Amino acid sequence: MAQQITPPDELWWLTFNQFLIGALVLGTFVSIVFAYFAIRYWEKKVKPNEAEVVLGPGRVAPGTSKIGWTRYTLVVTGIIVTLLILATFPRTDYVEASPPETDLVIWVTAFQFGWEFEYPNGKKVVNTLVLPTDTVVEFKVVSRDVFHAFGIPEIKGAKIDAIPGILNSLWVKTPSEPGELNVVCYELCGVGHSLMVGKIKVVPPDEFQAFLQST
Between residues 125 and 212, which has the closer beta carbon with respect to Cu ion? 125
Residues in contact with 127: Cβ distance below 8 Å, sequence separation at least 6, in sequence order: 114, 115, 183, 197, 198, 199
Q: Which of 115, 129, 148, 170 binds Cu ion (CB under 5 A)?
A: 148
Pairing label, strands 124-126, 114-118: antiparallel
Q: Whose Cβ is closer to Cu ion: residue 128's or residue 209's?
A: 128
Please choose, out of 2-10, 127-135, 142-150, 203-211, the segment that lies near Cu ion by the rule CB under 5 A. Answer: 142-150
Q: Is 104 left (phi over 0), alpha (psi -120 to 50) or beta?
A: beta
Closest by CA to 9, choosing from 142, 153, 110, is 153
* Amino acid identity, position 118: E
Nearer to Cu ion among residue 148 and residue 173 (C-beta): 148
User: Beta-strand (E) ranges in 73-127?
Assistant: 104-111, 114-118, 124-126
Query: How near is the Cβ of 12 to Cu ion at its closest, in Å?
Result: 23
Q: Is 150 a binder of Cu ion (CB under 5 A)?
A: no
Beta carbon of residue 125, minimum distance to Cu ion (angstroms, whole number)? 18
Torsion angle defined by CA atoms of residues 36, 40, 41 and 44, in that order, rounded to the nearest 10 degrees: 140
Chain residues 196-215 in contact with Cu ion, contact rule CB under 5 A: 196
Is residue 143 at the binding interface for Cu ion, with CB under 5 A as the rule?
Answer: no
Touching Cu ion, residues 157-196 (CB under 5 A)? 185, 189, 196
Residues that bind Cu ion (CB under 5 A): 148, 185, 189, 196
